[in-house]
Amino acid sequence: MYRIGIDVGGTFTDFLLIDEAGNTSIYKVLSTPEDPSIGVINGIQEMADEKKITIIDFIRQVNIIVHGTTVTTNAILTERGAKTGLITTKGFRDVLAMRRGIKEEMYNNKYVAPKPLVRRYLTRGVGERTKVDGAIIADLNKEELLEAITLFKKEKVEAIAVCFMNSFANPKNEIEAGELIEKEMPDKYLTLSCNLLPQIRLYDRISTTVMNSYVGPIIDKYLDNLQHKLVDLGFDGALLIMQSNGGVMSPEVARKMAASTLLSGPAGGPVAGMFYSDILKFDSSVTVDMGGTSFDATLVVKRLPMVITDGQINRLRLALPMLGMNTIGAGGGSIAWIDEAGLLRVGPQSAGANPGPACYGFGGSKPTVTDANLVLGYLNRGFFLGGKMKLDQGKAEKAIEEGVAKPLGLDTIKAACGIYNIINVNMAAGIREITIKRGVDPREFPLIVAGGAGPIHSGMIASELEMPVIIVPKQSSIFCAAGMLMSDLKHDYVRTYQVFFSDVDKERLRKTFEEMKGEGIVTLETERISKENIEYVYTLDIRYTGQVNEVNVQTEENEVEEGLMEAIASKFHQRHEELYGYCTEDVPLELINLRLTCIGKTEKIQFKEMDFQGRDCSELIKKKREIYLEDKNDFSEVEVYDGEKMGYGHSLKGPALIEQITTTVLVLPGWNLTCDKYGNYVIYVKSKEEEMQKRIFS
C-alpha cells in the first residue's frame, strides 16, 4: 500500500509517494489553478504510468492521501472569494471595516486600509441583543432578517456570515437567525460565529466568520470535485486535509471550517521539521523556507508546532488557531537598494522570476541577493540548476557596482558582502519575531532549512541567533508534502473557568479536563483513532488579578489532575518575568481558560535508512573554488563536494561547499558537517562535535 502527500502550490503541485518499505519517490506537475483537482489527478496518473499500471489499479493501492492546498489562501489574496453577505446586530454594521481604527503606517498620509471582504450594502444589522453576561434583552427581529435575506437573494449572494454582539456568551439569537437563513437560502454557504469561534471580541469573531464564508464555497466546490474524481477512480482510502494549526482533518470538517485551511499549504513545514529534528533527538526546532521572494519561519517547541490566535491573512484578522508563521519579503530575488539616509536595505521588493536577478540575463538590472551570492563565489555560474541555466557574473557585478558599491563608496565585493549580511540579518529578525518576541529562546534549537536558496544563508542566520545546529534535508523541495504525511489528527478544546487561584475547585478542574478529553476521544474515534493512540497537551491561561491578557502556561497532566496550584503558579511567575521583564508574586493569580489539545497519533511513514558510507568523502570533492569568507575579509579557496553522491556518515569540516542540482550548501569556518542516516546534512559548531556524533550515530 502507498501513501501520498500532496502540496498544491501556485505554480507546481508537489507529490511525495511512499510505500510500506519506506521507499520514496517525488513527482512534480504543473498546478491547474482553474480547478486544482485536475493537477492532483495528473500527478497520480503520472505515478501510475511510471509503475506501468492503470490509474484505477494504482489508486486501489493507496490508503492515505494527505493534502495541503492554497485554494482558499489564493481566493483571499486575489479577492476572488464568494460574494458574501453579513448579518450582524443592528448598530454594529461597520465593525469589520473599522478594524478598531488602526492605521499601520501612522505617518504615511496616503496609507490605504485593506478593503473588507463584504461590501457595506451587503452588511445588514438586524434587531436583537444579548448582553455580555449572556442575558437576552431583545429577541431576534425576524422581519428585519427576512428583509436582508430578500436583498441577499436579489443580489445573488453566495455565502452568508452571521455574527451577533456577545453571541459567545449566549448563541440563542444567532442560532435562530441561522435556522431562518437555512430555511430561506438552503443551498448557500452559511457560517455562524458561535459555531466557528465562540470567544469574546466582536471584531475578531466577525472578521474570522466572514473569512470563513468568503472562502467556504471555494473549498467546498474544490473538495467536492476532488472527492468525486477520487471515488470515480475507486479510491477507498482516507483523504485528509492539512489545517492551519499544523494538524490534519477530514474533508467534512474542512468544508465547515473553511478558514482553518488558509495556511494549509505551508502547514506541513513544522511537522516535517519535527521529523528531521527527531532523528537527532531534538524536541524543538525552527523551520525556515527561503524561496525567490519570501521567507517563512515557523517554530516547534517540545514537539508542538507553535500555534497563535492573533494572526492575519493579507492584513485581515483571523482569530482561529494557526501556525505562528512569520513571512517576510526576503529571498534570492530580493533587491538591494540605498534608502534616503544612505543606508543599505535589501527587500522586500523582489525581482521575482522575471526579470529576475541581473545574473539571470533576462534583463534585470537591479542587484539582488542571488547576484551577491554569485559575486561572493557561493553560487557556481556553470552549475545553477545542475547547469541547465548559466549565470552571468559580469551582469551581477555591474548591478552591484551601480546599485550599491558606488553610492556607498565601497568596492563591489564589500558591497556584495553587505547585501549578503543584511538579508541574513533580516531573516534572523524574522525568526526573532516568532521566538524571542514570544518569549522562546532559540539558542538550543536546530535550524531546519528548506527551499533552494536557504542553505547558502543558514550558517550566517544561525550564527546571528547563536543557534548551534543546522539541518538541511536531502530533498527539501518536497519538504511540506513530507510534513503532511507525518501530521497527526489534531483537535483543540477550550473551557472558560474564571476563578482566583486560591479558590480553585480541584475537582472541577479535574472534571473539566476529563470532559474535554471525552469529547476529543469521541471525535478521534470517528476518525478511526483508538484511545491508546491519543496524546493530550494541557495548558492553562493565567493572569495576575487586574490584568486582561493572559499568559498561556503549559502544565503536566498530574498538575491539573491533582490540582498542584503552587507548582503551576511558580511556572506562571517565571514565564511572566521572561516575557514582560517583571513578576509580582504578591498579587493573586486568576485562572481564565483551560485548554486541551487532543492529538490522534497516526502511523508515521518510515523513510528507508541508508547504509553507512564511511566518514571519508574526500573522493567526492569535485574541485576547488574561491569564495569570500568574512572572517578572513578575503577570498579563500574551498573544496566543493558533489552532494548528489553524499550519504550516511560522510563528514567534512568548514569552510566547504556542497553542490546539489537544486541547492548549494555553504559550510562556514568553525562548523562541521555529517550526513545522518537518511542522507540529510547536519551542520554544527565545532564545539558540539562530540554531542552531535552521539546524536547522529546512536
Reduced to 3 states, what is the DSSP secondary structure of residue 523? Answer: helix
Looking at 98-106, 190-198, 349-357, 517-525, which segment touches other proteins (CB under 8 A)? 98-106
**Residue 417 touches other proteins, criterion: CB under 8 A:** yes
Angle between helices 36-51 and 202-232 (to 10 degrees): 40
**DSSP letters along 558-602, please?**
HHHHTT-HHHHHHHHHHHHHHHHS---TTSPEEEEEEEEEEEEPP
Identity of the residue, 279 or 408, whose beta carbon is nearer to other proteins in the bound complex: 408
**DSSP letters along 22-84, please?**
--EEEEEEE--TTSHHHHHHHHHHHHHHHHTS-HHHHHTTEEEEEEE--HHHHHHHTT-S--E
Among 11, 108, 502, 526, binds other proteins (CB under 8 A): 108
Identity of the residue, 181 or 344, whose beta carbon is nearer to other proteins in the bound complex: 344
Count of residues that bind other proteins according to CB under 8 A: 67
Identity of the residue, 21 or 112, whose beta carbon is nearer to other proteins in the bound complex: 112
- Binding marks (x or -) toward other proteins, 154..173, rule CB under 8 A? -----------xx-x-----
Smallest distance, other proteins to C-beta of residue 106, A:
4
Among 11, 21, 52, 109, binds other proteins (CB under 8 A): 109
Under 8 Å CB-to-CB from 534, ≥6 apart: which residues? Answer: 520, 521, 524, 598, 599, 600, 601
Tell whether omega for the bond before 468 is within 30 degrees of 0, i.e. cis. Answer: no
- Binding marks (x or -) toward other proteins, 317..356, rule CB under 8 A? ----------------------xxxxxxx-----------
Polymer length of the chain = 698
- Bridge partners of 119, per DSSP, are none
Smallest distance, other proteins to C-beta of residue 393, A:
22
**Residue 522 touches other proteins, criterion: CB under 8 A:** no
- Binding marks (x or -) toward other proteins, 557..596, rule CB under 8 A? -------------------x--xxxx-x--x---------
SS (H, E, C) 443-506: HHCEEEEECCCHHHHHHHHHHHHCCCEEEECCCHHHHHHHHHHCCCEEEEEEEEEEEEHHHCCH
The separation between CA 470 and the C-alpha centre of its own chain, rounded to angstroms, equals 19
**Residue 105 touches other proteins, criterion: CB under 8 A:** yes
Smallest distance, other proteins to C-beta of residue 74, A:
25
Is the Cα dihedral 602, 605, 609, 615 positive or negative?
negative
Identity of the residue, 151 or 180, whose beta carbon is nearer to other proteins in the bound complex: 151
**Residue 120 touches other proteins, criterion: CB under 8 A:** yes
Question: In 3D, which of 516, 481, 479, 480 has the Cα closest to residue 495?
Answer: 516
Smallest distance, other proteins to C-beta of residue 546, A:
4
Supply 45's cell numbers: 496518473
Identity of the residue, 186 or 342, whose beta carbon is nearer to other proteins in the bound complex: 342
Identity of the residue, 110 or 388, whose beta carbon is nearer to other proteins in the bound complex: 110
* 112 φ/ψ sector (left φ>0, alpha ψ -120 to 50, else beta): beta
Supply 22's cell numbers: 519506506
Smallest distance, other proteins to C-beta of residue 282, A:
24
Biggest alpha carbon distance in the chain?
82
SS (H, E, C) 334-371: EEEEECCCCCEEEEEEECCCCCCCHHHCCCCCCCEHHH
- Binding marks (x or -) toward other proteins, 43..82, rule CB under 8 A? ----------------------------------------
Under 8 Å CB-to-CB from 202, ≥6 apart: which residues? Answer: 92, 95, 163, 165, 166
**Residue 103 touches other proteins, criterion: CB under 8 A:** yes
- Binding marks (x or -) toward other proteins, 283..322, rule CB under 8 A? ----------------------------------------
Smallest distance, other proteins to C-beta of residue 688, A:
21
Smallest distance, other proteins to C-beta of residue 200, A:
5
Q: What type of residue sits at position 292?
A: G
Among 429, 461, 529, 589, binds other proteins (CB under 8 A): 429
Helices (H), 238-388: 251-256, 268-279, 369-375
Reduced to 3 states, what is the DSSP secondary structure of residue 299? Answer: strand
- Binding marks (x or -) toward other proteins, 484..513, rule CB under 8 A? ------------------------------
Which residues within the stretch 523-562 sit at the binding site for other proteins (CB under 8 A)?
Answer: 544, 546-549, 551
**Residue 131 touches other proteins, criterion: CB under 8 A:** yes
**Residue 633 touches other proteins, criterion: CB under 8 A:** no
Q: Provide the Cα torsion 40, 41, 43, 46; round to 10°.
A: 180
Give the DSSP H/E element, type plus range, for residue 213: helix 202-232
**Residue 619 touches other proteins, criterion: CB under 8 A:** no
- Binding marks (x or -) toward other proteins, 196..225, rule CB under 8 A? ----xxxxx---------------------
Q: Rounded to 5 degrees, what are φ and ψ at 555?
A: -125, 170
Indicate the DSSP class of residue 388: T
- 635 neighbors 629 (Cβ within 8 angstroms): yes
Smallest distance, other proteins to C-beta of residue 326, A:
13
Smallest distance, other proteins to C-beta of residue 91, A:
4
Positions that interact with other proteins (CB under 8 A): 91-95, 97-98, 100-113, 119-121, 131-133, 165-166, 168, 200-204, 339-345, 408, 410, 417-418, 421-422, 425-426, 429, 432, 436-437, 544, 546-549, 551, 576, 579-582, 584, 587
